[in-house]
Structure 1
């Protein structure tokens, strides 16, 4: 089968076209003909950082985590899928799990679900990593009807799903953005937009919560921005983040009695830990999407498998809006 491989990691790493063996189905897995994949920040990190990240595959590396496609073969012990099923999932591209920048993948059936019927393959392929992340973060933060929720980075991959899920679960949602295009998308998704470059945390907390703070802060920016999340959170509030590889002063979190939830959705793949939970989340997300609760925002550009270098560059540029997808 055709695949795009990385022979050597680094800032100038390039994908190369290769012919590799088509994988064989095994017990508890499904063989999927991939029709689309998508690019996530972690993919670009692996490509450039290599061995600096403990989750990077050995080279030559077959990257790519998200996919949507059609089941071609079912392994022993698989009861929930049949040949011809259209599925989506996040099941490879790290450690010893071959990725999705290829024509086929053998995926653990616990990491897969039936694709939402109302989505195109390329739309479904954009979702698994970011949607599972948003779902897990909000659920762990105890999302509930009537809460005031702040989403940092609401025009990004994770953020645009977090806005919609928070609204679906009955919250009053606010979100930060740094430019008019981002703010416009945030408004389209149903959240009150906050221009973080022109409004201070203190100003927007006062404006939107009367100074009390937000019940839940979902921070898809993370790092140093977590200090803004602590400042924006209510007393005994909940903060969920996707980026916490940093050193921070937790004084504000202490005196507010905040709970911090770190979401690292790759754990089930890396450690074979509670993988079925990802399948369950994807199944529930499909139901929510089919009800109209979440729509997918895709970047305007189209990329073929051979153009994956350009797809990575698009995501890294920060100029894209929504998820960058690679069509097979």
Structure 2
């Protein structure tokens, strides 16, 4: 089969279109003919950082975590899927798990689910990693009807899903963005847009919550922005963060009695820990999508398998609006 293979890591690392051995199906797994794969920030981090990340696969490597495609073979013990099923998931491209930038992919059946019937393969491939991350973070933060929820970075990959899910769960949703296009997308998704470049945290907390703060803050920006999340949260509020690698004074969190939920959705893949949880979340996302409450936003530019490097560059440029998708 054809695959985009990475033979070295680094800033200048390039993918090479290569003929590789087609995987053989194994117990507990299915073989999927890949139709599309989306690019996530962690994919670009693996390509450029390599061994500096403990989750990078050994070279030569086939990257690509997210995918949508069709089951072509079913391994022993798999009862939930049959040949011909259209599925999606986040199931490879790190550690010892082969990735989706190939014509076929071996996937653990616990990490995949039935594709939403009202999404194209391209749209479905855009959803797994960001969808699981947003869903897990909101659930752990105790999302509920009537709450006021702030999503930092609501036009981004994880953020635009978190906005829609929070609205689906009955919350009043607000979201930060930094430009007209971002703010317009946030508004279109059903949230009140906040321009973080022109509005201070204290100002929008006063404007939208009368100074009380937000019940849940979903921070898809992370890093130093977590201090803004603590400031924006209500007393005894919840902060969910997808990027918690930061040195930070927790005094504000202490005096507000905040709960911090760090979401690292790769744990089931890396440690073979509760992988069935991801299937359950994907099944829930399928139901929500088919009900019309969640639509993945795709970048205007599309890429073919041989253009994987260009797709990575597009995401890294910061100019993409929505998920970058590769047609396989």
Q: TM-score range by the shorter chain?
A: over 0.9
Correspondence for 1:247: 247
The reply to whether residue 207 of structure 1 matches residue 190 of structure 2 is no
Tell me what 2:120 maps to: 120
Distance across 2 between alignment mates of 1:78 and 1:157: 31
- What TM-score results when the alignment is normalised by the length of structure 1? 1.00
1:195 alignment counterpart: 195
* Alignment-derived partner of residue 319 in structure 2: 319
Structure 1 equivalent of residue 44 of structure 2: 44
5+ long unaligned stretches in structure 1: none
Secondary structure, in 3 states, of the residue corresponding to 2:308? Answer: helix
Task: Report the equivalent of 2:238.
Answer: 238
User: How far apart are the structure 2 equivalents of 1:209 and 1:27?
Assistant: 53
Describe how 1:124-139 pairs up with structure 2 within 5 A: 124-139=124-139
Name the CA distance, whole Å, in 2 between partners of 1:45 and 1:249.
27
1:170 maps to 170
Deviation at 1:93, TM superposition (A): 0.3
Q: 1:72-111, aligned counterparts within 5 Å?
A: 72-111=72-111
The equivalent of 2:149 in structure 1 is 149
Structure 1 residue 77 displacement after superposition: 0.5
Aligned equivalents of 2:260, 2:312: Cα separation in 1? 31
Q: Aligned residue for 2:290?
A: 290
Residue-by-residue CA offset, 1:246-274 (whole Å, 9 max, x unaligned): 11111100110100000000000000000
What TM-score comes out, normalization by structure 2 length? 1.00
- In 2, distance between residues paired with 1:73 and 1:238? 43
Alignment partners' CA distance in 1, 2:6 and 2:70:
25
> Structure 2 stretches of 5 or more lacking a match?
none
Q: For 1:105 and 1:17, how far apart are their aligned partners in 2?
A: 16
Which whole-Å deviations, capped at 9, do the CAs of 1:100-131 have from their partners, x for residues lacking one? Answer: 00000110000000000000000000000000
The secondary structure found in structure 2 opposite 1:264 is coil
Question: 2:272 matched to 1:272?
Answer: yes
For residues 173 and 116 of structure 1, the distance between their equivalents in structure 2, rounded to whole angstroms, comes to: 25
- Looking at structure 2, the residues matched to 6 and 77 of structure 1 have their Cα atoms a distance apart, in angstroms, of 32
Deviations 1:265-294 (A, max 9, x none): 000000000000000100110000000010
CA distance in 2, matches of 1:284, 1:79: 19
CA distance in 1, matches of 2:202, 2:124: 38
Secondary structure at the counterpart of residue 175 of structure 1: strand
**Structure 1 position 296, deviation (Å):** 1.1
CA distance in 1, matches of 2:6, 2:108: 23
In the alignment, the residues of structure 2 paired with residue 291 and residue 113 of structure 1 have an alpha-carbon distance, to the nearest angstrom, of 17
Runs of 4+ displaced beyond 6 Å: none
1:48-68, Cα deviation, whole Å (9 max, x unpaired): 000110000011111000000
State the superposition RMSD in angstroms. 0.4
Instruction: Give, in whole Å, the separation in 1 of the partners of 2:311 and 2:128.
Output: 18
Q: 1:12 matched to which residue of 2?
A: 12
Structure 2 SS opposite 1:301? strand
Task: Give, in angstroms, the shift of residue 230 of structure 1.
Answer: 0.2
